[in-house]
């Protein structure tokens, strides 16, 4: 049986909702608490996010090997190091990119639309944005001055959150202009993310609508 067979997936376990929830905690709520010294649990909550993302797409042994290796490395970076190494940034970007690809494969070949399918579509976009955020972070660390970041500082979480913010502003084509790519590599990667974002919205939404319509036709018969 192929990896993307619907029978291998437990679509009513709300695994996508769980991962999306932890993404919201890490990216939105925790920065406010950390700023006020109320919840200094960054590595812990990030580790839970990594585990929940891996669990969302884990349904074969082959996937387990890849996810454990990449996820274990990025968790180790977050827990044991005060700052991300260049290798850690690259591995983290690779982990979330792999999760995004596996998730989109599962969504594309699934034949039934349930509630968690929509959470999966949301999670897919979050994973793509997070993967690109680590890529931008890696480029800026490897080639200082690749981005002009307003109000940047030396704090690891704030710097990464800056690029997470830029990634989602870019993928949604809002473009506020407070973070600007300056060299050719950074600009081309930002353009690629914008193109993939439009492609994601167009193709995945169309696929979900067609799946839903096909399901209604089957039920009516």
Kindly report, residue by residue over 87-145, the tens digit of the pLDDT: 988 999 999 999 999 998 888 877 777 777 888 888 999 999 999 999 999 998 889 88
The pLDDT value given to residue 75: 92
Task: Map residue 179 onto helix, strand or coil.
Answer: strand
Q: What is the pLDDT of residues 132-147, one digit of tens each?
A: 999 999 998 889 889 9
Q: What is the pLDDT of residues 50-65, one digit of tens each?
A: 999 999 998 889 999 9
Residue 47 CB contacts under 8 Å (≥ 6 apart), including other chains: 75, 78, 79
Task: Map residue 153 onto helix, strand or coil.
Answer: coil
Bridge partners of 170, per DSSP, are none
Only one residue has tokens 């990594």, namely 50
The pLDDT value given to residue 171: 92
How far is residue 47's CA from residue 31's CA, in Å, rounded to a whole number?
A: 16
Residue 128 CB contacts under 8 Å (≥ 6 apart), including other chains: 96, 97, 100, 171, 193, 196, 197, 200
The pLDDT value given to residue 213: 64
Task: Map residue 149 onto helix, strand or coil.
Answer: strand
Q: Does domain 8-220 have CATH number 1.10.10.2840?
A: no
* pTM of the entire predicted model: 0.81
Q: What is the mean pLDDT of the chain?
A: 81
The pLDDT value given to residue 175: 77
Q: Measure the CA angle with vertex 93, ends 87 and 95; round to 5°.
A: 100
Cβ-contact 107, 205 below 8 angstroms: no
How far is residue 123's CA from residue 201's CA, in Å, rounded to a whole number?
A: 13
Q: Report, as an integer, the average pLDDT of 144-159.
A: 68
How far is residue 101's CA from residue 72's CA, in Å, rounded to a whole number?
A: 19
The pLDDT value given to residue 32: 72
pLDDT band of residue 12 (cuts 50, 70, 90) is very low
Q: Report, as an integer, the average pLDDT of 198-209.
A: 79
- DSSP H or E segment with residue 68: helix 61-80
Bridge partners of 147, per DSSP, are 181
């Amino acid at each position: 049986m192929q990896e993307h067979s619907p029978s291998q997936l437990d679509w009513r376990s709300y695994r996508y909702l769980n991962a999306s929830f932890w993404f919201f905690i890490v990216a939105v709520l925790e920065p406010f608490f950390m700023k006020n010294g109320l919840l200094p649990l960054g590595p812990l909550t990030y580790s839970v996010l990594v585990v929940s993302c891996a669990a969302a797409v884990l349904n074969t042994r082959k996937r387990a090997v890849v996810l454990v290796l990449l996820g274990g490395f990025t968790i180790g970076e977050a827990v044991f190091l005060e700052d991300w190494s260049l290798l850690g940034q690259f591995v983290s970007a690779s982990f979330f990119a792999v999760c995004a690809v596996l998730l989109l494969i599962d969504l594309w070949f699934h034949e039934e639309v349930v509630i968690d399918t929509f959470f999966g579509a949301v999670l897919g976009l979050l994973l793509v944005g997070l993967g690109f955020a680590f890529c931008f972070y890696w480029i800026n660390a490897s080639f200082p001055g690749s981005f002009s970041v307003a109000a940047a500082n030396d704090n690891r979480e704030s710097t990464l959150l800056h690029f997470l913010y830029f990634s989602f502003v870019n993928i949604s084509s809002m473009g506020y202009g407070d973070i600007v790519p300056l060299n050719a590599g950074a600009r081309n990667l930002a353009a690629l993310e914008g193109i993939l974002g439009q492609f994601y919205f167009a193709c995945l939404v169309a696929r979900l609508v067609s799946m839903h319509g096909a399901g209604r036709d089957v039920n009516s018969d």
